[in-house]
Amino acid sequence: SRKKVVSEFLFFEEPMAHVLHEKIAMERELRRALEKGEFELYYQPQIRLDSGTVTGMEALIRWNHPEKGIISPYTFIPVAEQTGIIIPINEWVIRTACQQTKQLLEYFPNLSVSVNLSPYEFENRRFVDKLARLLEETGLPPHHLDLEITERMAMDTEQAIAILTKLKAIGVTISMDDFGTGYSSLSYLTDLPIDRLKIDRSFVRNIQGKKDAILPAIIRLGHNIGVKVLAEGVETKTEAAYLRDKRCDEAQGYYFAPPLPYEAFLNFLRRQQRN
């Protein structure tokens, strides 16, 4: 039976070693990608539902791999977070988003860009200073930058309040991303200095059911605590109309536009302006 134990051990260890090896290989690849400039930001517009105007955009990272083509962040962000290489990657994201948004402001002066933060970053003491430095370096006025955090990052409410207060003092705005999918209780919400709730797209998917009570409740909750509400993953005209009817402030999703490369996003803005 010792033999059996050994073979089981091998059976379980080998795939794990394989996974570890893959992670190390990918970290090396990510480092190289950063040096070679293989990352690119795509921008997805955020639309005000009552007027149809573009209020801003979410910056979403893509990896243009020389052999594998475009790689989704779902594939590499988790590994980047586990290995710590997310720190220089997100620095690149913030710098690039600020630079490109600064350019866009010349023609579209009211735009605000949203970037996704990582838990690591959020808890790092030096992040506040780093952010202030990046804003200064790029010349983007702070109120044109929005930081997306998740409920998971706000689980330690005291700590989150302290960090968010410092970030807000710089002048940026804060959005709670994927709202409704986290584990935390709702009571923390009123205590956090946030500006906007982004309702996760899983709630938007239920609209067709007609009996949906959750979406209107979340929208009212947001308004009751004095924050704006944006619905994510809006794919149809019906969904957009329903959300507008329920007084949801903003929406984002394939119905309006998918995430677009900078030039295509600029063209989207120009078309919108003409209409």
Measure the CA dihedral 105/248/160/98, to 10°: -10
Q: C-alpha distances in angstroms, 245 versus 159, 228, 230, 240, 250?
A: 37, 15, 14, 9, 12
61 scored as a contact of ligand C2E (CB under 6 A) = yes
The correct pick among 8, 25, 50, 72 for binding ligand C2E (CB under 6 A) is: 72
Per CB under 6 A, 174 contacts ligand C2E:
no
Contact stretch for ligand C2E (CB under 6 A) within 63-71, 160-168, 184-192, 232-240: 232-240
Side-chain-side CA neighbours of residue 86 (13 Å): 20
SS3 at position 227? coil
What's the min distance (Å) between Cβ of 1 and ligand C2E? 46
Minimum gap (Å) between residue 3 Cβ and ligand C2E:
45
Q: Is there binding between residue 173 and ligand C2E (CB under 6 A)?
A: no
Name which of ligand C2E, Ca ion, none residue 235 binds, using a CB cut-off of 5 to 8 Å depending on partner kind.
ligand C2E
Q: Which of 33, 47, 57, 60 binds ligand C2E (CB under 6 A)?
A: 60
Nearest to 222 by CA among 198, 200, 188, 251: 198
Q: Which two tokens stand for residue 250?
A: 């903003």
**What is the closest distance, in whole angstroms, from the C-beta atom of residue 201 to Ca ion in the complex?**
7
Structural tokens at position 186: 């709702």
Largest interatomic CA distance in the chain: 77
Does 116 contact ligand C2E by CB under 6 A? yes
Ramachandran sector of residue 139 (left: φ over 0; alpha: ψ -120 to 50; beta: rest): left
**Which one of ligand C2E, Ca ion, none is in contact with 61 (Cβ closer than 5 to 8 A by kind)?**
ligand C2E
Q: State in angstroms the smallest separation of the CB of 8 from Ca ion.
A: 37
Is 262 strand, coil or helix?
Answer: helix
| Residue 9 binds which of ligand C2E, Ca ion, none (CB < 5-8 A, kind-dependent) | none
**Which residue in 259, 260, 265, 268 binds ligand C2E (CB under 6 A)?**
259
Q: Which residue is nearest to ligand C2E (CB)?
A: 253
CA dist 261 → 39, 67, 99, 114 (Å): 11, 20, 14, 15
Q: Give me the least distance between CB of 120 and ligand C2E, in Å please.
A: 9
**Running DSSP on this structure, what letter comes out for residue 182?**
S
Question: Residues of 89-116 as b/e, b for ≥16 C-beta within 10 angstroms?
Answer: bbbebbbbbbebbbebbeebeebbbbbb
Of the ranges 72-80, 101-109, 158-166, 239-247, which one interacts with ligand C2E (CB under 6 A)?
Answer: 72-80
Q: Residue 90 binds what, of ligand C2E, Ca ion, none (CB under 5 to 8 Å, by partner type)? A: ligand C2E
Our finding on whether 253 is near ligand C2E (CB under 6 A) is: yes
- The footprint of Ca ion (CB under 5 A) covers 116, 148, 177-178, 232
